[in-house]
Amino acid sequence: MSIGRFISLEGGEGAGKSTQLRALAAALRTRGLEVVETREPGGSEGAEAIRALLLTGGADRWNARAEALLFAAARADHIEKTIRPALDRGAWILSDRFLDSSRAYQGQGELTDDDILALHRIGSVGFLPDRTLLLTLPEEEASGRARARDGDSSDRIGGRASDFHQAVAEAFSRFAREEGDRVRAIDASGAAEVVTVRLLEAIEDLLP
Ligand code: T5A
């Protein structure tokens, strides 16, 4: 049986995470690996129910603490019901967002990065991906891609002001600088196929 691996894809809105997750999954399957495609918030029945609570409704539906707890609860269920069982049978799990999104989005206002990591220790015993691929793209290009797809509609969190999203991007970059063994920044500009090659290079050392 091959060794299971857990890879998360991170980045701002419209960077191309979902597109790349599908392409990476296809590339790994051609190598004979079982691949599970999943996402956060969501990825299990309970976590998908929490996703609906988190991403719909008014901007003030949840305060910062309640929001962070809901993300942590969804993640705990996602790991227990989807990620762990797949890892145990030797599958590769690709997740569209994971803990670093909570650190970048929820951990820089009322709550700190340490607060988010503490919630993750309580909810998920500190479980981390084998590798995190951070898609980087200038804000204007990313929001242009998202706008071309969605028009002006966005969810409860995606619709926040551009200085919030700028701070999110800076937090992600800091994780890549400070936790480079796990978090690899990948240039997400250019054709999708070219970006997929960059992602494959960034996990080459984990492949069987
Ligand atoms: N959140 C999430 C938190 O606050 N805390 C957390 O802990 C977690 C887990 C989730 C929201 O929740 C927040 C963050 C988010 O605000 P979501 O619906 O899952 O929201 O959406 P996002 O993760 O934000 O992702 P998006 O769907 O907006 O963007 P993607 O997945 O990065 O981009 P993708 O692949 O859909 O591409 C966008 C468009 O660009 C095109 C695609 O075809 C698509 O139309 N595209 C390209 N165009 C040109 N060249 C390329 N190389 C392209 N790649 C893709």
Tell me if 157 sits within 8 A of 105, measured CB to CB.
yes
Indicate whether residue 14 lines ligand 1 (CB < 6 A): yes
Query: Which residues are CB-neighbours of 189 under 8 A, at least 6 positions away?
Result: 137, 138, 141, 195
Indicate whether residue 18 lines ligand 1 (CB < 6 A): yes
Give the chain's domain count.
1
Indicate whether residue 145 lines ligand 1 (CB < 6 A): yes
pLDDT one digit per residue (tens) for the chain, 208 residues: 679 999 999 999 999 999 999 999 999 999 999 999 999 999 999 999 999 999 999 989 999 999 999 999 999 999 999 999 999 999 999 999 999 999 999 998 999 999 999 999 999 999 999 999 999 999 889 888 888 888 878 888 888 888 999 999 999 999 999 999 999 999 999 999 999 999 999 999 999 9
SS3 assignment, position 161: coil
Residue for token pair 């691949």: 35
How far away, in angstroms, is 13 Cα from ligand 1 center? 4
DSSP 11-36: -STTSSHHHHHHHHHHHHHTTT--EE
- Quote the pLDDT of residue 154: 81
- Quote the pLDDT of residue 1: 66
We report the CATH number of the domain holding residue 42 as 3.40.50.300
Indicate whether residue 40 lines ligand 1 (CB < 6 A): yes
CA distance 105 to 12: 10
Main-chain dihedrals φ then ψ at residue 40, nearest 5 degrees: -130, 150
- Quote the pLDDT of residue 155: 87
Cα Rg of the chain, angstroms? 16
Range of the domain at 95: 5-206
